[in-house]
Amino acid sequence: MSHDLFEAARSAMAFAHAPYSKFPVGAAIRAEDGKVYTGANIENLSFPQGWCAEPTAISAMIMGGAKKIVEMAVIAEKLPLCPPCGGCRQKISEFASKDTKIYLCDEMGVKKTMTMEELLPFSFETELG
């Protein structure tokens, strides 16, 4: 199942708007509704006002009517196995469980699988879940 998320994240990366960093990133989420939602980083000259790929995909998921991340793939053109940044880790954890799988990819496919708990131990938690 992770291969289709890799393909979706890689395809999303082609839509990145990264004229400043020259660091395109793509992300793909499989939500609880079974659909795949994608995003790419979208930079802005007024740094840090841009969006990373992961929250862009989360926004697509929420606007698509889904609420929970079942699994997620992330790929960066210039850094194999690029993990989500710290801020994105907290954003992902808002919509994921501790055992949600996060796939880190290179240009060939998924190379490392982590759980949300491994990616962000001691995350902020609420009783909203």
Q: Choose, from 7, 32, 43, 54, the residue flagged as catalytic.
A: 54
| Residue 54 annotated as catalytic | yes
Using the predicted structure, report yes or no on whether residue 92 has a pLDDT greater than 80.
yes
Share of the chain above pLDDT 90, in %: 88
Binding-site residues for Zn(2+) sit at 52, 85, 88
CATH of the structural domain 1-119, one choice from 3.40.140.10, 3.40.630.10, 3.10.450.240, 1.10.3720.10:
3.40.140.10
Q: Where are the domains of the chain?
A: 1-119
Which of the pair, 50 or 49, is modelled with greater confidence? 50
Binding-site residues sit at 52, 85, 88
pLDDT in tens, 16-48: 999 999 999 999 999 999 999 999 999 998 877
Residue-wise DSSP of the chain: -HHHHHHHHHHHHTT-B-TTT---EEEEEEETTS-EEEEE-B--SSTT-SB-HHHHHHHHHHHTT---EEEEEEEESSSTTPPPPHHHHHHHHHTS-TT-EEEEEETTEEEEEEEHHHHSTT----S--
Mean residue pLDDT across the chain: 94
